[in-house]
């Protein structure tokens, strides 16, 4: 299994909603990432977890709250988002000791 699975594939939410994005991998990778990608832009790093601990937080607003409950699962909790948060959210995982990351297909989020 060399897949990173993201759910849902598409999400539309209002500015007062609370929702969560989910990312799962079963490759034993101990580093997991969240990226945000706006249209026609490169992915921007948001968070990195290493051994289930937050190791990088790129000054992301608190309305985005990451969580890594175990080594296979990474969540991104969303609350009180703004329309400008609409983007493709990509998850990636990496085996520590390697440099090759595996990406999920992304969740396309629209905030209305």
Partner 1 sequence: AQSVTQLDSHVSVSEGTPVLLRCNYSSSYSPSLFWYVQHPNKGLQLLLKYTSAATLVKGINGFEAEFKKSETSFHLTKPSAHMSDAAEYFCVVTKLNNNDMRFGAGTRLTVKP
Residues that bind partner 1 (CB under 8 A): 31, 33, 40-45, 48, 50, 55-56, 90, 92, 94, 96-101, 103-106, 108
Residue 16 vs 40, nearer CB to partner 1: 40
Residue 40 vs 62, nearer CB to partner 1: 40
CA–CA separation, 20 and 35 (whole Å): 15
Q: From the CB of 56, what's the least distance to partner 1, in Å? A: 6
Q: From the CB of 75, what's the least distance to partner 1, in Å? A: 18
CA dihedral 20→92→37→65, nearest 10 degrees, is: 30
For residues 74 and 46, the answer to whether their CB atoms sit within 8 Å is no
Q: From the CB of 102, what's the least distance to partner 1, in Å? A: 8
CA–CA separation, 27 and 43 (whole Å): 23
Residue 33 vs 64, nearer CB to partner 1: 33
């Amino acid at each position: 299994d060399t897949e990173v699975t993201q759910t849902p594939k598409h999400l539309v939410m209002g500015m007062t909603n609370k929702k969560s994005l989910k990312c799962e991998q079963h490759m034993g990778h101990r580093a997991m990432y969240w990226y945000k990608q706006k249209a026609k832009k490169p992915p921007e790093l948001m968070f990195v977890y290493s051994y289930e601990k937050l190791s990088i937080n790129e000054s992301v607003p608190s309305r985005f709250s990451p969580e890594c409950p175990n080594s296979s699962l990474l969540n991104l909790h969303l609350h009180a988002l703004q329309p400008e948060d609409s983007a493709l959210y990509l998850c990636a995982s990496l085996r520590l000791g390697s440099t090759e990351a595996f990406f999920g297909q992304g969740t396309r989020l629209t905030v209305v």
